[in-house]
Structure 1
Amino acid sequence: MKDGFKSITIEPFNGYLDFQGPINPQKPTNNLVLKGDIHLHLSKAIKVKRAAIKFVGSSRVCHKNTLDVVDISTPILPKLKTQLFSSTTILGPGLVILPWEMEIPNIYPCSVMIKRASISYKIELSISMGLHRTVTAEYPIVIKRYLIPCLEVAPLVPTKLYTKTISTKFHYEIDAPRIVCTAQQTIPIAIKLLTIGTHKPVLSVRTQMIQVELYRCNTLPKTDADMTKFKTQLLGQKNTSSTASRKGESSKYAKYTKRTSPAIIHTLDETQPISSNQPLLQLSIIN
């Protein structure tokens, strides 16, 4: 360290933020408070002009499209900042503990770290003693987001019905949950099938989990990038205007799919009658 600082440590009381439900930037609710202590070990008295703690997020996308390799890093807005001192302060030698607290609005996506994309957050401390004399420290923060509060309510989540008719062959319906908790270990699915113009029996049903990743890169207008006067109630209006200007940019999408291995084959009884009212197959896919 330098300028009389032996060490600087940021110690949040909890390095994880657990948000509930989807993001609603227009009316953010259930905000969380992030708090902790800063431990400064000083070898001498220090005159501090400014000291601030920031909540900073960053994202990165790296993939290959039809033309070239896309590798873009960008900050996640808005950045949050809290001043630790209202005026110039002198800190004595030895151990100095500075408490800090910051409210984090429920508008940030969860932390992600996969092959082609990442979203990360951190607490950043900046202490200024004068012109060109600044020391910094940081601590990573993980944001988690849960669409359901606990495993017990997972069966209560409404399901979604997927239907399709293949001409002259059959009509099928798949009743699957909209949200799945990873702690369930299995995914309950009901399949209905009605054959058209044929009496051939259904011998088997093949199921396979597919992970879909969709990426799109756009240039952010300067008016949207200026978040110094960020107001959440205006965010919905900005998103509406930005979406309208993005028409015709669908060619900039990059899509990746990943299939689980192996696929599961469910063998059916040939003598089982096909009914349009009862599920042909009720199964649980192992997650």
Structure 2
Amino acid sequence: MSTERSNGSPSPEAVADALRNRIRSGALVPGDPLPTQKELTEQFGVERAAVRLALERLKAEKLLTNVGRGAPPKVAELPTGQQVDPEPAITALEERIIAAFRQKHVVLDAFTLTTETLNTALRNTHTAVTMGELTQPASLKVRLMVPTADTRLALPKLVDDPDDPRPLRRLQQLMRSQLSLFEHNVTSLARPGDVDLAIKTVPVTPSFKLYLINKIEALMGYYPVLRHEVSDSSPTGSEMEIYDFKGHTTKLFRSRADELQVGSHDTAFVQESQAWFNSWWDTIAQDYDPGVP
């Protein structure tokens, strides 16, 4: 089947394929509105008739609802038993943060180790804002919770000498540099008066990472442990074999709250995850001190 018309513009089938891939990849999730028909014609460089045909095709496949009713169509709920496969952390988080920035107000809570994955997602979101693909939100509220810098974490540690302090010192340096970058990334995404950023620490070794977006989505992934070699932070840069976290390629499992399905598993998971985060934030978490070595 041809995906291009004789004039070189994409066919309705090509437009439908592209939108279908966004839905199946999780870039668009159930309940998300699609761009307007005018925006889609500009994105794909096609006439509005091609967009209409593509939307009608996806409606027939039961992937879209509200087609042809004036407002932009929305992604339909998945059939029972059908789920979107979890994606690598960087891919999944970037897609969902960019989707969140299509809203006027953005709220992000995160519990993680070094913010490396989060920084990548925020940097790409900033690029989309700079390119005019996204507009700055009217308000951006971010709460980040990370391990306390001087905590004796269970990992990383030397394979042959668990008491050697070098792997932990290396991680602490990485954490501080990533947190500094994180503050810059967040504050560059909205006007200064529209940003509310808070960072707290807890004396624990994280075994998972959790991202809560706009109070309706939760993305959670585990930190696997791997054995590999790294250079220490000494002038000689000697090699160390360590047990370490592996977070940037782990899969994120996504749940989305649906106000029409109060008792659903996904809704309950989002609510419980938000309650867990709030309970730690409001009790044992301490304000982040960048001066702690």
TM-score by structure 2 length? 0.24
More strand by share: 1
Greater Rg, structure 1 or structure 2? 1
TM-score by structure 1 length? 0.24
Which structure has more relative contact order (CA 8 Å, sep 6+)? It is 1
More helix by share: 2
